[in-house]
Chains A and B, each alone.
Chain A
Amino acid sequence: MSLSPLDKRWFWLCRFFAFTCALIICFIILFLFVESIPAIQSIGLERFFNDSSWHPTPDPSTGSFNLSAMLVGTLAATLGAIIFAGPLGILAAIFCHFYAPKQIAYLFRRMIELLAGIPSVVFGFWGLVTLAPIIRNLAPPGPSLCAGIIILTMMILPTVVLLSDAAIKNIPKKYIEGAAALGLSRWSTIKSIVIRASKEGLSNAIMLATGRAIGETMAVVMVCGNIAQIPNSLFDPIRTLTANIALELGYATGQHRSSLFFSGLLLLGIITMMVLISEKLKSEAIRD
């Protein structure tokens, strides 16, 4: 491809800026590593999973540093949220395209966009003052895994809806026309053509939403109760990895601070793995 001189200058400018973007991720990984190396060296990886509990101190010999309760908390809340938000979100997107009258679909999309814009701290606040008391009446103490799942579901739902909506919109019109010309019913068209033709976009929507659920901090801090324990039921309080960082970074020093950076690294690891899996899914979908 040949570029004119003007294009070349712009091309290099763009490359420079883009390179800066790539540099940021390198910097983030680098800093998490640098800050967590002291903890990894003096505490050791196995103690993060084998210690009796999470009672960190700046001096590694006196504290205990077990992160697994937080890991379980994060996974439980995320899984719960995605089980609800995934199907509901995709159905809502289908609603917009195939069931709702034009005006209602328009209003519904607007509403979902607004819902997507509601800050996590507002969700958390609402969960804390409205939802948690309701759950307390059902099964004390209120702030719990259950509250966390409900709030997370509501928070990632717009992500799923908007991305699925976009994926469905991208389906070539000729498929829909073809299905109509064959007299396929609405649901068969959706099931056999729409979902399959937008498979890649839909799974990507779920993946991104999962990532958001794992990383969500403030809402979870406010509604989950923040007790570092492995939950026995839906109504037990939990503490997630993210909540742990948000609660403790303010006063953490020494190895305690370093181990918080390590848990950040752990989060990053989980997310990166998911991104790589979704990339792999994508490339396999293309090869099929």
Chain B
Amino acid sequence: MTDKTLSQDLICGFIWCVALGITFMFCWILFDIISHGIPEISWTFLTSSVQQAGRSGGIGPIIISTLLILLVCLCVSIPLALATAILLSEFSNSHQRFTRLISTSLEILAGIPSIVFGLFGNAFFCIICGLGFSILSGGLTLACMVLPILTRSIEIGLRSVSDDYRLAGAALAIPRVKLLWRIILPAATPGLVAGLMLGIGRALAETAALIFTSGYVDRMPGSLLDSGRALSIHIYDLAMNVSGGETNAYATALILLVLLLVINLVAQWLSHRFLYRKVQL
């Protein structure tokens, strides 16, 4: 019996060590970025334009470009993903072959490396569609890329809603779509918001797909057809191609991290509010 307890304790200790190790690495990265980044950050850094290829100056145009790329991406991908997820989860038993085709292609799409999206975006949006290196090309490429994540997490969210609701709705002869909007979507909100969060996070973090679609230009974009440099590309460029760009790279990395954190928190706050309102109804 003591032999057994000992091995149980060892396993328990080992698992705690794994968790602590992961936590340690996480804190290390975070501490490194924050401690190097914070001294550089100021209001002027956030708003002024890039100078000397990024060695000095700020990141104003880069933040604007990033947000525009994100906006294009979400405007295209959210409706597509929502509709596809609804088809897969709510109507899936009616047309087996078609839905299987869709879900398999999403599965493959999800696995495609971002650099391959970059290749595709470069060949299709930039050259064939004639959009050139532009925010629009970048956003559209990203939209293709986040589509599977968005769709799958929305689908999982919808599926996790108990079938009892659907059966009860069917028994009351409520059209499925009404049931979906009134009961199932609200019930699935946390899952949906989590999915949206993942999608935004992935889009904001993306670099490889953007290098050859939205381009490198670090000026303030005048329109969606201008090239714009995303935050992530700015970090990459400063770290790899600009000697002496490290301090600004740290600062930009910190901004990117903070942005991701804020999006995370806002999404969570929204989902709580939404749920609360629905419960009161």
Q: Do chains A and B touch in the complex (CB under 8 A)?
A: yes
* Any A CB within 8 A of the CB of B33: yes
Q: Chain A residues near B205: list those with CB within 8 A.
A: 117-122
Q: Looking across the interface, which residue of chain B has its beta carbon closest to that of A112?
A: B22
Which one of A15, A27, A272 lies within 8 Å of B111 (CB-CB)?
A: A272
Interface 1/0 per residue, A247-288 and B, CB below 8 Å: 001100000000011001001100110110001000000000
Q: What is the size category of the interface that chain B forms with chain A?
A: 35 or more
Contact at B105–A32, with CB atoms within 8 Å?
A: no
Which residues, 207 to 266 on A, are CB-close (under 8 Å) to B?
A: 208, 211, 214-218, 221-222, 242, 245-246, 249-250, 260-261, 264
Which residues, 169 to 210 on B, are CB-close (under 8 Å) to A?
A: 175-178, 198, 201, 204-208
Which one of A95, A115, A122, A157 lies within 8 Å of B16 (CB-CB)?
A: A95
Contact at A4–B211, with CB atoms within 8 Å?
A: no
Which residues, 21 to 79 on A, are CB-close (under 8 Å) to B?
A: 21-22, 24-28, 31-32, 34-35
Contact (A21, B109) CB under 8 Å given A14-B83, A32-B119, A242-B208: yes
Contact at A27–B120, with CB atoms within 8 Å?
A: yes
- In whole angstroms, what is the CA distance A206 to B96 when docked? 27
Contact at A14–B201, with CB atoms within 8 Å?
A: no
Q: Chain A residues near B110: list those with CB within 8 A.
A: 208, 211
Interface 1/0 per residue, B1-38 and A, CB below 8 Å: 00010011001101110110111011001001100000
The smallest beta-carbon distance between B267 and chain A, in angstroms, is 11
Contact at B80–A17, with CB atoms within 8 Å?
A: yes
- Could you say which of B47-55, B219-227, B252-260, B271-279 contacts chain A? B252-260
Q: Chain B residues near A16: list those with CB within 8 A.
A: 83
The smallest beta-carbon distance between A129 and chain B, in angstroms, is 6
Q: Chain A residues near B102: list those with CB within 8 A.
A: 18-19, 21-22
Which one of B19, B91, B95 lies within 8 Å of A95 (CB-CB)?
A: B19
Contact at B32–A126, with CB atoms within 8 Å?
A: yes
Q: What is the size category of the interface that chain A forms with chain B?
A: 35 or more
- In whole angstroms, what is the CA distance A218 to B84 when docked? 30
- In whole angstroms, what is the CA distance A112 to B194 when docked? 14
Q: Chain B residues near A215: list those with CB within 8 A.
A: 111-116
- Could you say which of B56-64, B67-75, B235-243 contacts chain A? B235-243
* Any A CB within 8 A of the CB of B165: no
- In whole angstroms, what is the CA distance A22 to B106 when docked? 7
- In whole angstroms, what is the CA distance A220 to B115 when docked? 12
- Could you say which of A5-13, A172-180, A192-200 contacts chain B? A5-13
Q: Chain A residues near B201: list those with CB within 8 A.
A: 116-117
- In whole angstroms, what is the CA distance A21 to B83 when docked? 10
The smallest beta-carbon distance between B273 and chain A, in angstroms, is 19
Which one of A1, A116, A125, A260 lies within 8 Å of B253 (CB-CB)?
A: A125
Contact (A126, B33) CB under 8 Å given A1-B93, A208-B111, A267-B116: yes
Which residues, 114 to 157 on B, are CB-close (under 8 Å) to A?
A: 114-120, 122-124, 144, 147, 151, 156
* Any B CB within 8 A of the CB of A124: yes
Q: Which of A4, A22, A121, A217 has the most CB of B within 10 A?
A: A121
Q: Chain B residues near A19: list those with CB within 8 A.
A: 102
Contact at A122–B83, with CB atoms within 8 Å?
A: no
- In whole angstroms, what is the CA distance A258 to B111 when docked? 22
- In whole angstroms, what is the CA distance A153 to B224 when docked? 37
- In whole angstroms, what is the CA distance A260 to B175 when docked? 51
* Any A CB within 8 A of the CB of B41: no
Q: Looking across the interface, which residue of chain A has its beta carbon closest to that of B234?
A: A121
Contact at B175–A4, with CB atoms within 8 Å?
A: yes
Q: Looking across the interface, which residue of chain A has its beta carbon closest to that of B201?
A: A117
Which one of A22, A125, A166 lies within 8 Å of B235 (CB-CB)?
A: A125
Contact at B235–A21, with CB atoms within 8 Å?
A: no
The smallest beta-carbon distance between B27 and chain A, in angstroms, is 9
In the A-B complex, list the 9 residue pairs whose CB atoms are closest, starting with the nearest. A215-B113, A119-B205, A17-B83, A217-B208, A14-B87, A211-B111, A18-B84, A271-B111, A25-B105
Q: 11 A-B pairs, CB-CB below 8 angstroms?
A: A17-B80, A18-B98, A27-B120, A31-B119, A34-B123, A91-B19, A99-B16, A115-B26, A119-B260, A122-B33, A126-B32
15 further interface pairs, Cβ-Cβ under 8 Å (given A88-B22, A125-B249, A245-B119):
A7-B177, A10-B176, A11-B94, A14-B83, A25-B112, A100-B19, A120-B207, A187-B7, A208-B110, A222-B240, A245-B115, A272-B108, A274-B111, A275-B107, A279-B104
